[in-house]
Amino acid sequence: MDGNGRWATSRGRPRTSGHVVGARVVRTIVESAEDAGIGTLTLYAFSADNWKRPTREVSMLMRLFRRYLLSEMDRCVQNGVRMRIIGRRDRIPAELRRTAETAEATTRDGRRLDLRIALDYSARDCMVMAAEKCAGRPLTRDAFVRLMNEVTHSGPVRDVDLLIRTGGEQRLSDFLLWECAYAELYFTDRMWPEFTPADLIAAVREFHARDRRFGGVQESVAAAG
Ligand code: FPP
């Protein structure tokens, strides 16, 4: 969800006002996810490296996340959306942590959309923490994935099909590195506050047009020997 800051400053407004508009866009995109055929949507809201930002911006974001969870919880229940927060929980403000736990408990029966919000999240940290837990034990991919679930509270770790990054950046920035092993990457110059449901559908359409081989070959090629 890149581009809030640039979108705001290009309009002579403080970066934080871009985040406020960005939160409204989150609501719209979550509501349109089902129409786009999405069953699991993970939003990268705050990376472990985002703590380097000015204190004022960080505090504002923490308040905004809490406000979002509080205001969306009931709507999520009505719409069958299950909310989960992934990432570390020991560094975010206690109020936000409690609200996140309440949102997760309140929406736990949602079956239409699994909405994951990555807060204080780092894929590298997640992998290191999982590796620490398995020290000395024989390791398989499945066992490692189970350990990653434990350390990020993420529920089932699932492979990412499509990663969309707004704001013209073309990198992964420590997001779901394990899960993105075979993700299709989609980069757009659109700033997050201007991202629309139509943009989401366009990205999903492009995803369906891609040829995913997972290291193999097309079936027709295999059949031809
Ligand atoms: C990164 O780009 C964006 C963030 C660190 C914050 C994202 C937050 C929101 C979209 C608002 C609320 C989110 C939820 C889940 C309620 P940037 O805005 O710093 O953009 P820049 O690249 O233009 O500086």
pLDDT per residue over 189-206, tens digit each?
999 999 999 999 999 999
Q: Is the CB of 87 under 6 A from ligand 1?
A: no
H/E stretch holding 41: strand 40-47
| Amino acid (1-letter code) at residue 140 | T
* Whole-number Å distance between alpha carbons of 75 and 77: 5
Q: Is the pLDDT of residue 136 over 70?
A: yes
Q: Is the CB of 17 under 6 A from ligand 1?
A: no
For ligand 1, the distance from its centroid to the CA atom of residue 3, given in whole angstroms, is 7
The 10s digit of each residue's pLDDT in 90-121 is 999 999 999 999 999 999 999 999 999 999 99
Atom of ligand 1 minimally distant from the CA of 169: 22
Q: Is the CB of 115 under 6 A from ligand 1?
A: no
pLDDT band of 35, cuts 50, 70, 90: confident
The 10s digit of each residue's pLDDT in 38-95 is 999 999 999 999 999 999 999 999 999 999 999 999 999 999 999 999 999 999 999 9
- The residue contributing the CA closest to ligand 1 atom 5 is 46
Q: Is 2 a residue of the active site? A: yes
Q: Is the CB of 23 under 6 A from ligand 1?
A: yes
Residue 160 to residues 18, 65, 97, 163: CA-CA distances in angstroms?
A: 27, 23, 26, 7
| Amino acid (1-letter code) at residue 66 | R
Q: Is 50 a residue of the active site? A: yes
Residues 6 or more apart whose CB falls under 8 angstroms from that of 159 comprise 179, 181, 182, 183
Atom of ligand 1 minimally distant from the CA of 117: 15
- Predicted TM-score (pTM) above 0.75: yes
Best substitution site from 2, 16, 195 to test ligand 1's pocket, by max atoms within 8 Å of Cβ?
2
- The residue contributing the CA closest to ligand 1 atom 20 is 3
Q: Is the CB of 45 under 6 A from ligand 1?
A: yes
Phi/psi of residue 174, nearest 5 degrees: 65, 30
- The residue contributing the CA closest to ligand 1 atom 6 is 45
End-to-end CA distance of the chain: 44
3-state helix, strand, coil in the chain (%, to 5): 50, 15, 35
Instruction: Find the mean pLDDT for residues 14-42.
Output: 96
